[in-house]
Amino acid sequence: MHNIQFIIFLSFLIHQSLAAIHLENITVTRGENVKFHCQLPLSISLKENIIQWKKNRFNDDNLFISINGKIPKIFEKFYQTVLTNQSSSLEVFHVDKDDSTTYICQTFETQTILCQYNLVVLIKPEAPLLTINKENIEEYQAVTLTCSSLNGNPPPQYTWYRNSVLLTSLNEQVITTENSSIYTLNVTRLDNNVKYECQIWNQALTIPLRIEQYLHVKYRPYVKILEETAIFSSEQNHMRKIIGIEHEQQNLTCHYDANPLPTSIYWLTNGTTIVSRKKKRIFIAENQSNIINENK
């Protein structure tokens, strides 16, 4: 009894080692032919064993391609097999995405795996698309950028760039699926007119594919008063204190940043519009307004 158990256990180990020894990964390009070759162990006799090739399918409905070197007529234009006393081979014609799976050469009686191949058919992904979930983007809103591409095999890897600088540590901001990468960020005025770029790559490509989009963010005016001739200035609680010399000309610049640009710009002093007062000149240029106080 113990001898029988030992023989069964030894046979199991041999079968497992055979499967491990002959495990091989093969990568080919779509449309090529690929040939699997399995050298039969000396312990395998064609008189006592039936050799078969099968193709694993994702729905667990495995396809038996050949039995003892014979292929059903409906598969002859897709496969070819050769069986000798020493080996068995299977050739797959014009491979496509559906052929990316595992192919197994095994005995019919005991289902002993003799050889096992993992086939990856390389297919270039389609040109990526980059979409933004909002048309009117305002500061501090959450914006989602979706980069998508179809039909690549293996599924492409996605990377993101901001003004051509690679973005890293995006694990919490990016959700990646087989056909897309979704990047969510909270925008500020610093994102206005910034170029966001998505890059995709898989082994079928010689160079990555890229696509870009510019963000246009609306935000309120940010204002800062600058002085050129003051003796001293300081700012506290958004209030700027400026000290100058009596009877000397003071040149103040109101620098503003806004999108869209302000429709009107005016100066106030103690609640009074400065434009109505004498001895003051105002100049308006892009993103700034200058006022000159002529106290001579």
Q: What would the DSSP string read from start to end of 122-149?
A: EBPPPPPEEEES-SSEETT-EEEEEEE-
Per-residue model confidence (pLDDT) at position 50: 95
Alpha carbon separation from 56 to 24, 101, 154, 270 (Å, rounded): 15, 6, 17, 83
CA 75, CA 218: separation in Å to the nearest integer?
Answer: 61
Per-residue model confidence (pLDDT) at position 7: 43
Kindly list the averaged pLDDT for each block of 10 residues, start to end, along the chain of length 296: 45 46 83 96 91 88 92 95 95 96 94 94 97 95 97 95 93 91 96 97 96 96 75 62 70 85 81 60 55 51
Per-residue model confidence (pLDDT) at position 237: 60
Per-residue model confidence (pLDDT) at position 15: 46
CB 121 within 8 A of CB 99: yes
The class that CATH gives domain 129-215 is: mainly beta
CA atoms within 13 A on the CB side of 105: 29
In this structure, what DSSP letter does residue 85 have?
S
The CATH code of the domain at 2-122 is: 2.60.40.10
Task: Sketch the domain layout of the chain as residue ranges.
Answer: 2-122, 129-215, 220-293
3-state secondary structure (DSSP) of residue 13 = helix
Per-residue model confidence (pLDDT) at position 208: 97
Q: What is the pTM of this model?
A: 0.73
Per-residue model confidence (pLDDT) at position 172: 83
> Would you tell me how many other CB atoms lie within 10 Å of the CB of residue 192?
18
Best CA proximity match to 43, nearest among 89, 90, 112, 116: 112
